[in-house]
Amino acid sequence: MTPLIQPFAQGMLALDHGHQMYWEQCGDPDGAPVVYLHGGPGEGSHPRLRNLLAYLPVNWILYDQRGAGRSIPRAAIHANTTRDLVNDLERLRQHLSVERMVLAASSWGTVVALGYALRYPEQVSGLVLRSPFLGSTEEIDWFMAGNRHTFPAAWQQFSGMAGHPATAMLATAYYRLLTSPDPRIHLAAAREWHRWEATMAQWPENTRQPPPDGFMALPLARLEAHYLSQQCFLPEPGLLELLKGHQASTLPCHIVHGSEDRLCLPGMAARLAERFSSGQRTEIPGAGHSLQSANLLAAFRQAIAACSGLV
Report the catalytic residues: 107, 261, 289
Q: ∠ at Cα 67 (110, 145), nearest 5°?
A: 55
Counting Cβ atoms within 10 Å, is residue 160 exposed (0-12), middle (13-18) or buried (19+)?
exposed
Cβ atoms of residues 271 and 260 within 8 Å: no
Amino acid at position 310, single letter: L
Q: Residues 268, 129, 68, CA angle at the centre, nearest 5°?
A: 105
Q: Among residues 38, 52, 125, 1, which one has the least CA distance to residue 298?
A: 52
Peptide bond into 210 cis (omega under 30): no
DSSP β-bridge partners for residue 22: 12
Contact 13, 91 (CB under 8 A): yes
User: What single string gives the DSSP state of each residue in 196-225?
Assistant: HHHHHHTTTT---PPPPPHHHHHHHHHHHH
| Cα 263 to Cα 120, 156, 161, 175, 198, distances in angstroms | 29, 17, 20, 19, 9
**CA geometry: angle 223, 63, 4, nearest 5 deg:** 115
Beta strands in the chain (DSSP E): 9-14, 20-27, 33-37, 59-63, 101-106, 124-130, 253-258, 279-284
Residue 171: closest CA among 142, 191, 198, 195: 142
